[in-house]
C-alpha cells in the first residue's frame, strides 16, 4: 500500500486577462499557472517581448524549461546552436543547458514558458516586486539567482 501523502490538486482554468500581471526585468508577463497550483510540479508564464528583447545567456541548475512560441519570431540559442523560429514552435531546454532567446521580429512577440519543477513564477514575481519597490539591484538579483538555482553566463 502506498502511504505517501499526495497533495490534493484542483483543476485550474486561467484566461490571460484573468492572470496576474508581473513586470520582471521590465518585461510584460502573466502567471497562468503557479507553482502552488501544481504542488510544485510546474509553473506556466505567458510573456510578451518587444523587438530586440530577450534574456542573455543563462541556465537553470534544477529545472527543465519548455517554450511555445504563440506569436512572432524568436532567435533561439541553445547550447551554442542558433535558429530562428516562429509561431507554433515548441522548444525543450534541459536543466544545466545554456540558452537565450530574442524577439527578432518588428512587432511584439509572445511565448508560453513552462518550468518543471515549478518556481520560475516565484522568481519573476520577486524580481517584479523589487523593481516596483525601487530596490532591485545586482546584489539582490545575485541572491535570487542563488535561491532559484539560476545563473547568467558571461558573453559568448
Sign of CA dihedral 42, 112, 87, 14: positive
Q: Residue 10: inside a domain, yes or no?
A: no
Question: In whole angstroms, what is the distance from residue 105 CA to residue 93 CA?
Answer: 22
Q: Residue 156: inside a domain, yes or no?
A: no
Q: Residue 7: inside a domain, yes or no?
A: no
Per-residue pLDDT, 134: 87
Q: Residue 101: inside a domain, yes or no?
A: yes
Which residues are paired to 43 by β-bridges?
Answer: 115
Q: What's the start-to-end Cα distance of the chain, in Å? A: 52
Helices (H), 16-81: none
CB 48 within 8 A of CB 24: no
Question: In whole angstroms, what is the distance from residue 46 CA to residue 3 CA?
Answer: 37
Number of domains the chain is built from: 1
Percent of the chain predicted with pLDDT > 70: 94
pTM of the model: 0.88
Q: Residue 139: inside a domain, yes or no?
A: yes
pLDDT-based confidence at 29, cuts 50/70/90? very high
Mean pLDDT of the 117-136 span:
92
List the domain range (segments joined by +) for residue 101. 19-150
Looking up cell 485550474 gives 12
- 57-75, pLDDT tens digit by residue? 999 999 999 999 999 999 9
In this structure, what C-alpha cell is assigned to residue 71?
A: 506569436
Q: Edge to edge, what strands does the sheet with 73-78 contain?
A: 81-86, 73-78, 99-103, 58-60, 150-152
Q: What is the CATH number of the domain that holds 84?
A: 2.60.120.10
pLDDT of 156 above 50: no
Mean pLDDT of the 91-102 span:
97
Amino acid at each position: 500500500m502506498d502511504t505517501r501523502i499526495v497533495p490534493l490538486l484542483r483543476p485550474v482554468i486561467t484566461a490571460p486577462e484573468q492572470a496576474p500581471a508581473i513586470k520582471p526585468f521590465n518585461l510584460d508577463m502573466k502567471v497562468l499557472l503557479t507553482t502552488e497550483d501544481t504542488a510544485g510540479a510546474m509553473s506556466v508564464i505567458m510573456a510578451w517581448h518587444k523587438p530586440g528583447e530577450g534574456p542573455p545567456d543563462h541556465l537553470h541548475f534544477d529545472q527543465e524549461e519548455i517554450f511555445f512560441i504563440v506569436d512572432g519570431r524568436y532567435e533561439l540559442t541553445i547550447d551554442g546552436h542558433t535558429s530562428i523560429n516562429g509561431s507554433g514552435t515548441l522548444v525543450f531546454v534541459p536543466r544545466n543547458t545554456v540558452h537565450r532567446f530574442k524577439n527578432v521580429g518588428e512587432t511584439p512577440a509572445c511565448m508560453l514558458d513552462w518550468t518543471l519543477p515549478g518556481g520560475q513564477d516565484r522568481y519573476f514575481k520577486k524580481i517584479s516586486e523589487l523593481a516596483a519597490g525601487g530596490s532591485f539591484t545586482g546584489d539582490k538579483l545575485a541572491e535570487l539567482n542563488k535561491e532559484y538555482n539560476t545563473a547568467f553566463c558571461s558573453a559568448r
